[in-house]
Structure 1
Amino acid sequence: MSETRSTEVDDAQSPPRVGRRLVITTVVALVVVLLFGVPLWTVFFAGSNWPPGVRIAGCILVIAAAVTLPSAMFAGHARGSDRAARIADSFLGAVWVFFVWSAIGAVLGLLLGFFGFEDPLRSRTIAAAVVVLVVGLLMWGHYEAMKVPRVVQKNVYLPRLGQDLDGLRVVMITDTHYGPIDRAGWSAKVVARVNELDADVACHIGDLADGSVDKRRNQVEPLRGVQARYAKVYVTGNHEYFGEAQAWLDHMESIGWTALHNKHIAVRRGSDAMIFAGVDDRTAAGSSADGHGADLDRALADADPGLPVFLLAHQPKQIDDAIRRGVDLQVSGHTHGGQIWPFEYLVRLDQPTVHGLSAHGDRTQLYTSRGTGFWGPPFRIFAPSEITVLTLRASTGR
């Protein structure tokens, strides 16, 4: 009897599962066709009338790339091969940039045709321009991703900040994403730059690394040398919850950082104090990490309600909780400023801000960093990385 019932349940569930797989497969196939098909059309076909040999070579090149990308993605991100991941991530970024500018080129070609510019010269000129522009953008974008980030300095005026804390310097890094590309040398240079900035408090706002502590320990090790007068504090990002979130919290503690795992500390100077609180990433509750989940009430438990609060929360959309609790300033990362244009506009659909300082509710301000490193594709295009210095001011600034 129980075997019959089990079979009936499996049969009832089978069609929806098949339907979901069909939808996912269709969407993936459509995305692949667009990503590779648009550049193929714009560069090698359209009205360019290239010789057959050029078109055939273009088709072979694009098909090879279309096969390489998912294969490398699987080997790199499912099987854990750093070498394959480097190839896959680079391919992904390059394909995206080619797609975007090929689509723009195709639209431009239509406009030029409307104004009387004829083929094949029109389409050949656009094809050449797209290739030259994309290659240039990828070279520049890789340089931007791999260099030591620029320093962004901002005064933040907090009416509740005590006079003795006026001028407190908070130096922030975030989204370092230590991963398949060994950036231990870059990490050491970032730390050297941070140490030039005379931090009172240093913050890392999550997405520290992609991978296990054992695998990425060498790249993270330079963070041990970060210098700050009063505190070095760290919170988890969403990428920690793809793997070893608690292990990363423990590791950061072991190299001298205070892990604000839904807790707070008080920073005092003279007769004034400020609460520095941190919460887990908003995805933590849905992860397999026991005891994790963003909990601002727990983070602020027993904190003096009369003191101003500086909150570390990885995602800008965690601002709603900060407004509810009257937090004075929340700092976040996560968005990368879009990282590769025009992703900025897609990020805006998910997050309340992409970068910079913004006001929310009656009291709360939010600073969103573009991030210090990069995720996946080793490119930053029109979204420069940053090390942030926030100087806290004990007035309204008006």
Structure 2
Amino acid sequence: MRNEDMTTDRRGEAVDTPPRRSRGRWRRTAIVSAILLLLFGVPWWTLLLAGTAWPTPVVVAGTALFAVAFVALPAMMVVGRGRRRPDWLSATADALLGVAWVLFVWSVLGHVLRLALFLAGVDDPVRGRAVAVTVVAVVVVLLVWGYAEAMRVPRIKSVDIGIAGLGHGLDGLRVAMITDTHYGPIDRARWSAAVVERVNDLAADVVCHVGDIADGTVDQRLDQAGPLASVAASARVYVTGNHEYFSEAQGWLDYMESIGWDALHNRHIVVERGGDRLVVAGVDDATAKASGVHGHGANLEAALAGADGALPVLLLAHQPKQVAHAARAGVDLQISGHTHGGQIWPFNLLVRLEQPVVHGLSRHGDKTQLYTSRGTGFWGPPFRVFAPSEITLLTLRRT
């Protein structure tokens, strides 16, 4: 190894020095830069250069706009997620990211139209301009619609789930599920209150919040999270998602306990109705242990410790991939969020690379079922495209 990559410790022994970390930062910077070049470069070429023959002032102005966005996006995301977290800057960066993603996707798809026009004998610049105008029109429509979808109070999605061995008294038990509310830089306090009102209209026996409650600390997002105190149910339970570990996971657990929810930090409660009982357990998010937060880390064995093994089990676990542990433990039903259903198509295809399910009801092993919600709120870009939000009403049925 070269001398500049080595130094000595107090005992005179050779140890690695920061240049190795510096090389890692350069690699990450190169990867991010390549992604940004694709994200902005493909739309730039499609809209301005691909046979369009626009007047020079149009090309120059458009190029300048793309260049500003290329520089501004990473800068705003870094500053907007810094220690002081200026919300307006973070919200602007999130919106720009969403616009860039949708524009990139439909610029790529625009070349399918370009090929069709070529086969139909349409020449440039008519062909190039037709593609550019169509891409812009589709993107504008999708962004307007996607914003409305993201900001509206979610519709109710009702799902019946049969569980073997469910007691007669629990047949028809109603479980309302919200997840991924992501209270963040856009103030959605009124939205939060409307969500709670809609949940209360369901008259559920159990209400679950399955993580990613907010992006930020309790103090930062208290106005938006406050309406959760008004949720009405015999049992209200909550588990952490991965985003809690970006801010203060224990703070959110303590807050939910303070407003009367059961924070299922690797533990369980027992719900009883009509003389029959159901174990409702919860585990920390899959990222909790690696976060370094003391005492945190998904532990299903601890969550089920002391539970009657003859009782059916409903498990809250933020990420669908945690179902592998649930299936080995013989859990009857796991409910999860995290995926947002992809949130902005076709991101669902990328989500599927990491998670076993993107949304809906699925079976894992001989016994375990998993319901994955598309999420109640949104993260980052305030758009939902072909991935509607939901408040889920699960009705448990005896089979």
Same-fold call, TM cutoff 0.5: yes
Matched, 1:118 2:119: no
What amino acid does structure 1 have at the position aligned with 2:164? P
Residue of structure 1 in register with 2:3 after alignment: none
Q: Percent identity?
A: 60
Match of 2:108 among 103, 111, 127: 103
Amino acid at match of 1:362: D
Aligned mate of 2:43, from 21, 28, 39: 39
Specify which of 186, 193, 200 is matched with residue 198 of structure 2: 193
Tell whether 2:224 aligns with 1:219. Answer: yes
> How far is 1:94 from its partner?
0.4
> In the aligned structure 2, how far is the partner of 1:3 from the partner of 1:46?
53
In 2, the alpha carbon distance for the partners of 1:378 and 1:260 equals: 29
Q: Whole-Å Cα distance in 2 between the matches of residues 232 and 72 of structure 1? A: 37
- 2:358 counterpart residue number: 354
Separation (CA, whole Å) in 2 of partners of 1:96 and 1:9: 49
- The answer to whether residue 54 in structure 2 is matched with residue 50 in structure 1 is yes
Matched AA of 1:152? K
Indicate the residue corresponding to 1:251 in structure 2: 255
Paired positions, count? 393
Distance 1:110 1:13, change over 3 A: farther
Partner AA of 1:81 in structure 2: P
Q: 2:310 aligns with which of 286, 290, 306?
A: 306
2:344 alignment counterpart: 340
| Pair 1:317-2:287 in alignment | no
With 69-78 and 370-379 compared, the bigger mean Cα shift is at: 69-78
| Alignment RMSD | 1.7
Structure 2 unpaired stretches of 5+: 1-5
Q: Does the 8 Å contact 2:238/2:256 carry over to 1?
A: yes
C-alpha distance after superposition, 1:254-312 (max 9, x if no partner): 11111001000111112210000000001001113111100000000010000000000
Report the more deviating stretch, 71-80 or 374-383: 71-80
Question: TM-score, normalised on structure 2?
Answer: 0.95
Structure 1 residue 4: deviation in Å? 4.4
Is the Cα–Cα contact under 8 Å of residues 8 and 15 in structure 2 kept in the other structure? no
Q: Secondary structure at the match of 1:172?
A: strand
Correspondences of 1:63-102 after superposition (within 5 Å): 63-79=67-83, 80-102=85-107
Q: Distance in 2 between matches of 1:28 and 1:7?
A: 39
1:231 is aligned to: 235
Q: Secondary structure at the match of 1:232?
A: strand
Tell me which residue corresponds to 1:155.
160
What TM-score results when the alignment is normalised by the length of structure 1? 0.96
Report the CA distance between 1:314 and its aligned residue: 0.2
Offset of 1:6 from its aligned partner? 6.9
**Structure 1: runs of 5 or more not aligned:** none
The one-letter amino acid of 2:170's match is: L
| C-alpha distance 118-259 of structure 1, shift in aligned 2 (>3 A) | same
- Structure 1 counterpart of 2:181, one-letter code: T
Name the CA distance, whole Å, in 2 between partners of 1:261 and 1:11.
Answer: 40
- The one-letter code sitting in structure 1 at the alignment partner of 2:341 is G
Pairing 1:368–2:341 present: no
CA contact (8 A) 2:7 2:17 kept: no
- Name 2:272's counterpart in structure 1: 268
Matched, 1:27 2:31: yes
1:146 aligns with 2:151: yes
Q: 1:118 to 1:10 in 2, by over 3 A?
A: farther
